[in-house]
């Protein structure tokens, strides 16, 4: 019973229709948006149709590469934003005032009670230095004062000087730019990052200040430095959100267009050579027409594309039905043919996204599909499948007749040369014949379109790859 159901599924007419429908639908989804304009619009080619006149006013859009490059350049000009937090300054100054008032009394009490246990903000060694000054100030040499009160006053001055200078919450090496934007309230200003301190330079700054104002006693300066660092926190805070918002704003300010084409203005004249500017106009016009038609217009266009692909596939379906009944009755074989056609179609779609002037269309591996169809089935199926796949690929490129013929020639030779394959060397011979097919086509159409020798050599290189 299970085997019978499998056979019914394998021969099911509904499943055949579903495979064909999904295949056509996927192909239509990969068609370019917009009006179907002559797609062989490569820089240097000749426009062989009648004058192309704009039916609507539209913007000339920059190429994707240029647009992305300009956005990246705009983003690179945005400086990292640091927000100045004055609350940190006021809080630190209040704390240092409070401790300055308490420390002399705390030291006196410790001396009277013979205690030398340091407060939580001091190491034992630094606290003992303060106690020693309090007990026997004459034992310290190289200091300009023997008063603890005077020492803590200088410590407060250091804290104030650090905040006047400004301290970053990132090291200078972590900041990639030489300048930064400092935001204070609603105002922003640009400064060199080297004007500010960071956690690596603040110790050196404190040491220099203490040596100048307090003296050169190393033990005392280290103790005061430890005391000062207890109160200092960075007051210039890097704002990732603000910086990212500034980068986004800079990118958004980059204009997408480089000009406007007015309604009834000529885009390109018959027999004009396609330049970069003309190509941009044609590509922009295609997009503009696609946006102009609206939902029902797009629906009608996609329905037309669906019929278009169905008409291309119909002769192949009829051939399979009339002359290859074994294939027609086996849904697995039909699915395999559909997958191969979709594969070459998807490859074409990916290559179509490349916005380069090189002949990358030769990277479409249509002859490989021809070889696979011939090896799996026979040369006739391989050749007919090649014609159908070439027509579909040409349709993707805006009904590109030249590209279709080139692939039919190369794919036909591929199918012919592997029809009786017996060893690996025949595969390499087939590749040679494919290259011959492309070479003849490139020369024929290149001479017809007055292409230069360099253009044809470039096409040979991509075909050989």
Question: What is the reported pLDDT for 362?
Answer: 63
Give 195's Cβ-side CA count (13 Å radius): 12
Q: What is the pLDDT of residues 305-351, one digit of tens each?
A: 888 889 989 999 999 988 888 888 888 899 999 998 888 888 877 77
Say how far apart CA 286 and CA 284 lie, in whole Å. Answer: 5
Confidence of residue 367 (pLDDT cuts 50, 70, 90): confident
pLDDT value at 50 more than 90: no
Selected residue with higher pLDDT from 461 and 193:
193
CA dihedral 133, 134, 138, 143 (to 10 degrees): 40
Q: How many residues are given for the chain?
A: 465
Task: Place 78 in a pLDDT band, splitting at 50, 70 and 90.
Answer: very high
Band (pLDDT 50/70/90 cuts) for residue 11 is confident
CA dihedral 282, 288, 293, 298 (to 10 degrees): 80
pLDDT recorded at residue 127: 63
Q: Is the predicted pLDDT of residue 357 greater than 60, yes or no?
A: no
Give the pLDDT band of residue 32 (cuts 50, 70, 90): low
Give the model confidence (pLDDT) of 91-110 as tens digits.
988 888 888 777 777 666 66
User: Tell me: the pLDDT tens digits for 105-161?
Assistant: 766 666 555 555 556 556 656 666 676 666 666 666 667 666 777 888 888 899 999
Contact (CB, 8 A) for 42 and 459: no
pLDDT value for 77: 92
Contacts of 272 (CB under 8 A, 6+ apart): 46, 47, 278
pLDDT at 36 over 60: no
Residue 162 pLDDT level (bands cut at 50, 70, 90): very high
The predicted-structure confidence for 267-294, as pLDDT tens digits, reads as follows: 888 778 888 888 888 888 877 776 656 6
The share of the chain scoring above pLDDT 90, in percent, equals 17
**pLDDT band of 440, cuts 50, 70, 90:** confident
**Rounded CA gap, 323 and 329, in Å?**
12
Cα dihedral 137→141→145→150 (10° resolution):
-70
| Confidence category of residue 239, pLDDT binned at 50, 70, 90 | very high
Whole-number pLDDT of residue 463: 65
Q: 451 pLDDT exceeds 80?
A: no
More confident site: 6 or 445: 445
Give yes or no for a contact between 367 and 414, defined as CB atoms under 8 angstroms apart.
yes
Can you tell me the mean pLDDT for 301-306?
Answer: 83
**Main-chain dihedrals φ then ψ at residue 309, nearest 5 degrees:** -70, -40
Q: Is the pLDDT of residue 34 over 80?
A: no
**Residue-level pLDDT at 359:** 60
Q: Model confidence over 169-206: pLDDT tens digits?
A: 999 999 989 999 999 888 889 999 999 999 889 989 99
Q: How much is the pLDDT for 360? A: 61
Q: How confident is the model at residue 244 (pLDDT cuts 50, 70, 90)?
A: very high
More confident: 98 or 358: 98
Q: Which of 453, 459, 448, 255 is nearest to 357 (CA)?
A: 459
Identify the band that residue 235 occupies on the pLDDT scale cut at 50, 70 and 90.
Answer: very high
Q: What is the pLDDT of residues 290-299, one digit of tens each?
A: 665 666 667 7
Entry pTM: 0.55
Would you say the C-alpha torsion 375, 376, 379, 385 has a positive or negative sign? negative
pLDDT at 49: 74
Place of tokens 């998807």: 346
Residues 6 or more apart from 449 whose CB is under 8 A from it?
45, 46
């Amino acid at each position: 019973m299970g085997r019978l159901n499998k056979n019914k599924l394998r021969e099911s007419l509904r499943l055949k229709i579903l495979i064909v429908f999904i295949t056509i639908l996927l192909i239509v989804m990969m068609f370019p948006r917009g009006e179907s304009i002559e797609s062989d619009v490569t820089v240097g080619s000749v426009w062989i149709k009648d004058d192309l006149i704009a039916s609507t006013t539209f913007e000339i859009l920059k190429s994707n590469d240029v647009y992305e490059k300009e956005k990246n350049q705009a983003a690179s000009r945005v400086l990292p934003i640091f927000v100045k937090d004055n609350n940190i300054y006021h809080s630190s100054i209040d704390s240092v005032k409070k401790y300055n008032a308490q420390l002399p009394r705390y030291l006196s009490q410790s001396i009277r009670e013979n205690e030398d246990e340091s407060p939580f903000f001091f190491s034992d060694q630094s606290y003992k230095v303060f106690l020693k000054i309090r007990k026997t100030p004459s034992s310290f040499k190289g200091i300009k004062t023997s008063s603890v009160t005077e020492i803590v006053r200088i410590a407060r001055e250091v804290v104030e000087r650090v905040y006047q200078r400004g301290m970053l919450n990132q090291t200078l090496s972590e900041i990639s730019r030489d300048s930064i934007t400092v935001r204070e309230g609603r105002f922003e200003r640009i400064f060199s990052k080297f004007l500010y301190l960071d956690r690596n330079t603040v110790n050196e700054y404190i040491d220099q200040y203490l040596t100048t104002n307090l003296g050169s006693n190393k033990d005392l300066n280290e103790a005061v430095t430890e005391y000062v660092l207890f109160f200092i926190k960075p007051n210039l805070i890097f704002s990732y959100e603000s910086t990212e918002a500034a980068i986004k704003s800079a990118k958004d300010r980059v204009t997408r267009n480089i000009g406007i084409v007015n309604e009834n203005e000529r885009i390109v004249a018959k027999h004009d050579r396609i330049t970069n500017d003309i190509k941009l106009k044609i590509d922009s016009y295609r997009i503009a027409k696609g946006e102009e038609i609206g939902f029902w217009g797009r629906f009608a266009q996609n329905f037309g594309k669906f019929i278009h692909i169905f008409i291309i596939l119909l002769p192949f379906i009829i051939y399979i039905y009339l002359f290859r009944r074994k294939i027609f009755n086996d849904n697995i074989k039909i699915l395999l043919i559909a997958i191969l056609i979709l594969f070459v179609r998807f490859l074409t779609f990916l290559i179509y996204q490349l916005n380069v002037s090189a002949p990358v269309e030769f990277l479409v591996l249509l002859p490989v599909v021809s070889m696979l169809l011939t090896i799996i089935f026979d040369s006739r199926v391989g050749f007919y499948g090649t014609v159908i796949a070439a027509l579909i690929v040409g349709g993707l490129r805006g009904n590109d007749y030249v590209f279709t013929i080139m692939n039919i020639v190369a794919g036909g030779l591929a199918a012919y040369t592997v029809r009786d394959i017996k060893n690996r060397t025949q595969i390499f011979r087939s590749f040679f014949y494919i290259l011959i097919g492309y070479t003849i086509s490139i020369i024929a159409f290149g001479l017809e379109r007055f292409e230069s020798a360099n253009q044809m050599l470039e096409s040979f290189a991509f075909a050989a790859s």
